[in-house]
Structure formats: C-alpha cells, structure tokens
Chain A
C-alpha cells in the first residue's frame, strides 16, 4: 500500500528536522530526524515495507522493531489527517 503526503499540508525542514502543520486544525507537528526522513519518503511511490527497509539500512535496530515503529508513526500521521493512502 503506497502512501503520500497530502498536497495542502505545509511543511518545512530545518536542522534536518521537520515542522508539519495541519491548516484545518492549526496544529503543529514537530518531527525528529528519523520521523522527518520517513515523512520525506511518503511520496506515493514507496510502500510501508520499502520505507521500513530504507530506515533499517540506516539504523542499528532489529527489522521487526523498525517495521513496527514505522507502521505506528504512519498510523499517527493518518490520524492527524496529514497523509493519504493510495
């Protein structure tokens, strides 16, 4: 399942971290370095497994934990109304 960032959600990267705002609620979502990297990978082309694989290659943690963390984070983004699934 591919996921993409909603087009009307403004975001900026500063110091390798991201700030994402939902204009409908005016809520601000600060994303740390890893979350920011996942956010940038949500381009509508890659699926969750591929995104988890990219993150796994960069961090020292077991594959299952990373997959679960990525899934959990994406689920939070969905609840916040910041992403769509294709």
Chain B
C-alpha cells in the first residue's frame, strides 16, 4: 500500500512519487520545496521498500544499484524495489530525470545557470572549475537556476535551460524557472577576464565532458547515441565560449556587455 505521495515539477516534467515509507517522501517535500506542484503527473514513480526484491516483471530498465522496472514514453511509469535504507532517492531521481531529458533532446549539464536579461547563460565545468564560486556572486539583479546541475531541453527547435533540485554545496536557488539558452561558458579560473569562441568540435567535446552520465546499463541501452546526437546539435546551434574569469562580481557585467553583445 503506497500511502505516501509527493508531486513536483522539474524542467517540464510533472513527477508523482509514491511510497510505502514516509521518509523518502518527507525528504523530497523538504528538499524539493520550491518544486512542489499539484499538476497531473506525466512521470509516475512507485517506490517499494522491501526486505527482498520480488522481481515481478521483465520490464526492468536497469539494475545496479537500483531495481527499476517500467516503460519510457509520452507518459512514464516506474516501479522501484529496494531494500530498506538502501536507496538514495535524490540520486535516483537525478538518474531518472537525466534519462528522460536525454529523450527530449537535452540532458543534465554540470553547470551554474544564471538568467541575465531574460535568457540563460550556463557556466559549465567539472568539480573545482568554479561553479559554486560564481553562484555565490549572484546578486538580486539576476536569477540563479542552479550552482551545480541545469536541465537543457530542446523544444520547438530552440534550447531552454531550467533549474533543477540537483544542487551542490550552495543550496540557494532563486526560483524554479527556465528560459531560452543564450550560450554556454566553459569556466577557467584566471587572473583576468577573457573569452574566446570555441569551435563546434571543441564545444561538443567540452559539453560531453560535462553531461551528467550514469554508468548504468540504462545509459547503454537508450542513451549514449542519443546523447551524442543531442550534444552534436547543441554544439552547432548554441554559441560556446571558454571564459577566463576572476572570482568577483564583475563577471556578470563582463558576460552581459562583452560576451552577449559579441564584443
């Protein structure tokens, strides 16, 4: 009996998570507070905590470390069986979301997302590149989507970037929103500000290096070719730059005045 439930919205997906245990649902209600909605779900997740995995069907979409069964389509339904205390619900939802975004022509990108003048600038890079550092420099003039993971979605032949609850150390998202993706800036800490446009090849390489990838067989089965297609198209349609930066708040004016205007 799944008597505990929560609904939330992430980057165009309306999730419903039900469970026979209160703890994961309460964790989601607290952690995803800004993302809670009452909308009709298009992605249903049923989370069963058992001592043993009953292996009820053959629709298992991937195995370790989760036992997940279900089908992915316009509407998605997943059944997840896990031993008590084993499942990290946050990691699981990040994994499911990443697969669903890949199917929508996008992905989860390790990046700090900022809305400047109505469109999103993604400041991307691996751990230590400076995503959280620049997120801390965001003032009230701008909207912060995430300091760690932004959802990139393709819709009507345009790219959008959305906030996600998959944040890093700096737990301060301004709002659950999204906007048109203006550019991707690959961070490089320096003693001055400078930028250079990357070739489509360099851009695709750097985008691939910063996509959230899971080493599960789900990625093998449905994802890797699609990820390559998505990165290939994005690298050719959205301008990518390498941004050398100093960790101070002049970065926003630099992006606004120099990069956005193509100076």
Contacts and interface: CB of A to CB of B under 8 A. Distances in A.
B209 A23 contact: no
Interface string B208-248: 11000101000110001101110010011000000000000
B219 A23 contact: yes
Interface stretch (A14-22, A39-47, A57-65, A74-82): A14-22
A28 B224 contact: no
A24 B220 contact: yes
Nearest to B235: A14
A23 B224 contact: yes
Contacts of A8: 220
A28 B209 contact: yes
Nearest to A17: B201
A27 to B, nearest CB: 10
Given A12-B204, A14-B232, 17 more contacts: A10-B225, A10-B227, A11-B228, A12-B232, A15-B199, A15-B201, A17-B201, A19-B205, A21-B208, A23-B220, A24-B215, A24-B220, A26-B213, A26-B219, A28-B205, A30-B201, A30-B205
B179 interface: no
Q: How large is the interface on B (under 10, 10 to 19, 20 to 34, 35 or more residues)?
A: 10 to 19
B228 A12 contact: yes
B6 interface: no
Contacts of B232: 12, 14
B228 A14 contact: no
Nearest to B209: A28
A15 B232 CA distance: 11
Nearest to B214: A26
A12 B201 CA distance: 10
Interface of A: 8, 10-12, 14-15, 17, 19, 21, 23-26, 28, 30
A23 to B, nearest CB: 4
A86 B225 CA distance: 25
Interface string B88-130: 0000000000000000000000000000000000000000000
Contacts of B209: 28
B37 interface: no
Contacts of B199: 15
A19 B208 contact: yes
B224 A14 contact: no
B212 to A, nearest CB: 10
Interface string B174-218: 000000000000000000000000011100110011000101000
Q: Which 7 A/B pairs are nearest by Cβ-Cβ distance?
A: A15-B201, A23-B224, A26-B213, A14-B201, A10-B225, A10-B228, A17-B201
8 contacts: A8-B220, A10-B225, A11-B228, A15-B201, A19-B204, A19-B208, A19-B228, A23-B220
A11 B200 CA distance: 15
Contacts of A11: 228
A6 to B, nearest CB: 12
B43 to A, nearest CB: 24
Contacts of B208: 19, 21, 28
